[in-house]
Structure 1
Amino acid sequence: MFQMPIVDLLKEGEKLSATGKRVSVLWQAPESLVFVARGREYRSEFHINPSDEMMYMIKGEMNLHYRTADGKEEIAVLKEGAVIYTPAGIPHSPRFPPDAYLLVQERARQKGEIDRFQWFCQKCDHPLHEESFTVADYNADPVSKAYRNFFESEEFRTCKACGTVMPAPEST
């Protein structure tokens, strides 16, 4: 028999803080993926998700950086208790502190779908690097993997247009 999960979202976020983990997957089903995320103090990439996303700010405040169709960066502010819808394919970067928690609901990935992560030069906005992953299990934390690949390479972090090097954070 299927058990319908009941989750205390604030307690789930507090568990993430206590363990140092970034993501707690609440459930993954063929049509639904739901997880609680803790903020990353160094987040700078734009995620391109093949599915729509709904984000609910459990605790704290988030600046959701996103890129318009013409590539311009905009920011939507999501206050505690608010929700936002992000359509598939929109490059977005949820930026919030590690003591804040976010609930994310999206469709589980279909066979062959790819998640992309893009970085841009902080000085001239030229594209720096892109990481791509096939995400079969969100417990594998693809965001952390993308960050490790990017920040461990000075070549990836160096702008080909202006020469600026994006600094690596102390820990990813």
Structure 2
Amino acid sequence: MKQLPVLELQEIAKELAETGKRVKVLWQEPGSLAFVARGREYRSEFHINGSDEVTYMIKGTMNLHYRTPEGKEEIAVIPEGSTNWMPPNTPHSPRFPPDAFALIVERQRHEGEIDKFQWFCPKCDNFLHEETFVVSDYRADPVSQAYKNFFDNEDARTCKKCGNVMPNALAEAAKTS
């Protein structure tokens, strides 16, 4: 039997803050995936995956934006020390600042399973763009790759309904860091 892991969440949060990294995978096994995430000030997409998710806020507060089955955007506020459960296939956008940290526990993806990242126009809520990934190893940080693909493509950030161009949040974040 493997040694059972006991991990210090505050130390992991401190490590992420000091290194500037966004995610540290704690374990990745066929039935379980756990990681600590540092907030991304530019997070705006809705992530869709086929796993239940449990979020525990280690430090700070998360505004968990999600879309109802009818497509309406709602927000669940998760304060420090609190937890939340989210059912599979719920479009969600965990928004919290870079000095906040969350523990996320979900199921590791099945072989060939696709994660989706969707953006909507901030002005009229029209669907803008979708990135898809097969996430076989969460350490590859698919969220960062989805953001790079989206924000590097002005056409993807341009609303076909109202003409609004979503600003390049990655470029803006780079200016302030």
TM-score (norm 1): 0.98
Does residue 117 (structure 1) correspond to residue 117 (structure 2)? The answer is yes
Name 1:14's counterpart in structure 2. 14
Give the Cα separation in 2 of the matches to 1:10 and 1:101. Answer: 9
Q: Which runs of 5+ in 1 are unaligned?
A: none
Name 1:90's counterpart in structure 2. 90
Q: Render the CA deviation track for 1:122-164: whole Å, top value 9, x for unaligned.
A: 0000000000000000000000000000000000000000000
TM-score (norm 2): 0.95
Does residue 81 (structure 1) correspond to residue 104 (structure 2)? The answer is no
Give the Cα separation in 2 of the matches to 1:164 and 1:14. Answer: 38
Name 1:137's counterpart in structure 2. 137
Name 1:66's counterpart in structure 2. 66
Give the Cα separation in 2 of the matches to 1:71 and 1:85. Answer: 19
Name 2:149's counterpart in structure 1. 149
* Structure 1 SS opposite 2:156: helix
Give the Cα separation in 2 of the matches to 1:24 and 1:55. Answer: 15
User: Deviation of residue 50 (structure 1)?
Assistant: 1.2
After superposing on structure 2, the runs of 4+ consecutive aligned residues of structure 1 that deviate more than 3 Å are none
Name 1:32's counterpart in structure 2. 32
User: Deviation of residue 111 (structure 1)?
Assistant: 1.3
Name 2:160's counterpart in structure 1. 160
User: Deviation of residue 95 (structure 1)?
Assistant: 0.2
* Structure 2 SS opposite 1:11: helix
* Structure 2 SS opposite 1:147: helix
Q: What is the total number of aligned residue pairs between the two structures?
A: 172
Q: Render the CA deviation track for 1:66-111: whole Å, top value 9, x for unaligned.
A: 0001000000000001000011100000000000000000000001
Q: Which runs of 5+ in 2 are unaligned?
A: none
Identity across matched positions, percent: 65
RMSD over aligned Cα, in angstroms? 0.8
